[in-house]
Chain A
C-alpha cells in the first residue's frame, strides 16, 4: 500500500481516502429543490423528474421500519445526496484523473482488466467515470451502461421497466433511492445471448456524510444468461454514511441471471438496499450475497417467481464483528406452479457483533407443486455476540412442499481439538474452521472474490484471538 496515504485505522485494510475533488455537489439534505436540481443537472426527461418528486413525497410520508436494526442515528438532513466528481466520462484507463486512478489501483481494477474480464464499469462517487466495454459485448448487442447513460440512450426501454419490480411505494428506502438515485448499471442482454465472463462494477464512496443511491436495472431477454458482479470497499470516516441502492432484475422466459455482491463497506456505513428479481417461465435467478462490512446492513434479495417452473436461489453470507449488525436474508414469492426456490444462509458473529437472518417464503394459491428449501446456519464465536433467526413461511397451496432448517452453534470443540493436536495454532485452526463453514457459498464466487473473501475472514479471525 502507498506509504503516503493516510490510514485512519490500520485495522481496516481499505481504510484510505483521497482528497475530495468535485465539480458539482448538492447542498445537504433532500427536498423538492435538491431533487429537481439533480434531475435538471442530469438533463432528464420530464417523466423521470416527476417520478423523482413523487418518490420524494412517499419517502417523506413513510415511517422508518420498526423492525430490524437501529436506524434512528441516521440524520437524513446531514447527507449530501448528489456529487459529481469529474465533468466528463472517460473511456480508457489512462484518461482517469490520477487520484481516482490511484484509488482504483488499490482495489485492483487494472488486475481485473488484465484478466480480460468482459467489462468494467467503475463507480467513483455518484457517477460512473470509468468504463471499458469490450467489443465482444457490443457485437452481441449487449447494453452495459451506467444508469444515467442508459436513460439517455435507451429512454423507451428504461421507461418500460424502471420501477416495475420495485415501485417507490415498496418501502421507505426504495422511495429515497427513487427520488435521489444516480449511477448504478443498466444492462440489457438480447434474446439467446449468453455472456460467458462476468460483468463487473466497482463501487466506492469517498466523501464524508455522502449517501450513495445507485440504481441498477438488468433485463435478461428470453434464453439469455448474464453474471453481474458488484464488489465494494469504502474508506473510513468519522460521520455515518448512508448507502441505499435499488437493484431490479427482469428474468424473461428461459433466461438465467446471477448477481454476486461482496459488500465490505467500512463500519460506519448504513447499507439499506432493496434487491428484487422478477422471474418468468423457466427462468433462473441466483443471488450470491456476501455482507462483511458496514455498521448496519438490512438487505433481503428477493425472487418473485411469476412464471411456471421459474427458479430462484439465494446464497447469503454475513459476518458481523464489533459494533456491526448484519440483518440479511432472502425472500421467495411463489406465484406460479412448479416454481422452486432455495435459500442458504451462513452467518458468523464475533466480538459483540450481531447477525440476523430474516426471510420469507410465500406460496400463493395456485402455485401448485411449488417447492422451497431454506437452510440457515449460524456460528457464534464468543460470549458477547448474538445471532437471530426470523423466518416466515406462508402457504396457501396444498401441493406445496416447504422446509426450513436453522442451526446456531459455536466452533466444535472436537474440530478444534483435532486441528490443534496436529500442531495448528488456535487462531489458525479457528479461521480454518470458519472458512470451511462458509465454503459452500465461497465456491460459488468468482475466483478473485473467493480468494479475497478467505483472506478477509483470515485477517478478521487471526486478529481476534490474542
Chain B
C-alpha cells in the first residue's frame, strides 16, 4: 500500500491482464487517480483507496473504452476509516461491438468515520446492441453523520444530441465520436492539474478517433 502524504495526481494506463492499485491517504494528502483503459483484450483492475486520517481526500476517475470482444472487470473500494474524509469516484465506460464491462465498487464507512462525504458514480454508454454492461455499486455505512451517495446509469448515445449535430451537417460517424469524446471528457473537470488534464484529454481524443 502506497502512502499519499500531499496533493498528488497519478495517471495510469490499465495493462492487459490483472492489475491492482492500493493507496492510503493521510492527513494532508489529496489524491487524484486517473486511470484509462483502452485497447485491452481482457483486463481486470482493482483499486483500493483508504482514507486513513482526518481531512484526507481522494478522487478516482476511470475512463474505459471497450471494443471488439474485450472484457474488463473493475473493482473499487473507498474505505473511510477516519472522520472528515472525502472521496469521489467517477467511472465512465463506452462499449461497442461485443465489449463487456463489469463494475463492482464499494464504499465502506467505518463507525469512527463521522462527517464522511463519499460519492460513487458509474456511467455506461452502449454503442452496440451486443455490448454488455453490469454495474454493482454498493454502500456499507456504519457511521450516521455522513453523506454517501452513489449513482449508476446505462444508456445509448442520446438521440437528440445526434440529431442536433446531424442538422448542422456533421456526418453520423463524426457526430458519434464528438458525443463520445464529450461524454468521457466530462470526467476531466475534476482534475485541477492543467498539464495532466490536457494530457488525458489528448489521449481521449486519440482513442475516440480509433473507435
Q: Which residue of A lies closest to B151 (CB)?
A: A405
Asked whether B146 lies within 8 Å of A404 as measured between CB atoms, the reply is no
Interface segment among B26-34, B55-63, B134-142: the answer is B134-142
Docked Cα-Cα span, A394 to B133, in Å, equals 6
| Chain A residues closer than 8 Å to B145, beta-carbon distance | 410
Name the B residues within 8 Å of A389 (CB-CB): 137-139, 150
Which one of A381, A403, A405, A409 lies within 8 Å of B147 (CB-CB)? A409
Judge whether A382 is part of the interface by a CB distance below 8 angstroms: yes
Question: B9 within 8 Å of A by Cβ?
Answer: no
Binds A, one of B14-22, B152-160, B167-175, B202-210: B152-160
- Tell me the complex Cα distance, A380–B131, Å: 38
Contact B136 A393 (CB under 8 A): yes
Supposing A383-B144, A386-B141, A402-B154 touch, asked if A407 and B129 sit within 8 A by C-beta, the answer is: no
At the interface with chain A, which of B40-48, B84-92, B120-128, B183-191?
B120-128
Q: Is A387 an interface residue (CB 8 A)?
A: yes
The verdict on B65 contacting chain A, using a C-beta distance below 8 Å, is no
Q: Is A78 an interface residue (CB 8 A)?
A: no
Tell whether A401 pairs with B148 under 8 Å between CB atoms, given A387-B141, A393-B134.
no
B111 adjacent to chain A (CB < 8 Å):
yes
Find out whether the CB atom of A403 lies under 8 angstroms from the CB atom of B152: yes
Separation in Å of the B60 CB from the closest CB of chain A? 18
In residues 65-110 of chain A, which contact B (Cβ within 8 Å)?
none
Contact A383 to B133, CB < 8 A, known contacts A395-B154, A401-B154, A404-B153: no
Interface residue? B132 (CB, 8 A): yes
**B136 pairs with A390, CB closer than 8 A:** yes
| Cβ B140 vs Cβ A388 within 8 A | yes
Q: Decide: A397 and B144 in contact? CB cutoff 8 A.
A: no
Flag if B155 contacts A401 (CB, 8 Å): yes
User: B161 within 8 Å of A by Cβ?
Assistant: no
A464 to chain B, nearest CB (A): 13
- Tell me the number of A-to-B contacts counted with CB atoms below 8 Å: 108
- Specify which of A386, A392, A403, A404 is in contact with B142 (CB 8 Å cutoff): A386
Interface class of chain A by DSSP: strand
Rounded to whole Å, the gap between the CB of B208 and the closest CB of chain A is: 18
Q: Is there an interface contact between B149 and A405, defined as CB atoms closer than 8 Å?
A: yes
Q: How large is the interface on B (under 10, 10 to 19, 20 to 34, 35 or more residues)?
A: 20 to 34
Q: Interface size on A (CB < 8 Å)?
A: 33
- Asked if A396 is at the interface (CB within 8 A of a chain B CB), the reply is yes
Q: Is A420 an interface residue, CB under 8 A from the partner?
A: no
Cα of A401 to Cα of B152 in the assembled complex, Å: 11
Known A393-B134, A395-B126: A402·B141 in contact at CB below 8 Å:
no
Which residues from chain B contact A378 at a C-beta distance below 8 Å?
141
Which of B124, B128, B129, B146 is packed against the most chain A CB atoms within 10 Å?
A: B129
Asked whether A365 is an interface residue with its Cβ less than 8 Å from the other chain, the reply is: yes
**A91 → chain B closest CB, angstroms:** 51
The docked-state distance in angstroms from the alpha carbon of A390 to that of B107 is: 11
With A399-B156, A400-B155, A406-B139 in contact, is A383–B111 under 8 Å at CB? yes
How far, in whole Å, are A385 and B132 apart by their CA atoms in the complex?
36
In the bound assembly, the distance between CA atoms of A213 and B195 in angstroms comes to 65
Q: How far is the CB of A142 from chain B (nearest CB, A)?
A: 41
User: In the complex, A110 Cα to B69 Cα: how many Å?
Assistant: 64
For B124, give its contact among A390, A395, A397, A406 (CB under 8 Å). A395
The distance in angstroms between the C-alpha atoms of A380 and B111, with both chains bound, is: 12
A residues in contact with B136, CB < 8 Å: 390-393
24 A–B pairs (Cβ distance < 8 Å), ordered by A: A365-B129, A380-B143, A382-B144, A383-B114, A383-B143, A386-B142, A389-B139, A391-B138, A393-B154, A394-B133, A398-B129, A399-B156, A401-B155, A402-B154, A403-B151, A403-B152, A404-B152, A405-B151, A407-B149, A408-B139, A408-B146, A408-B147, A408-B148, A409-B147
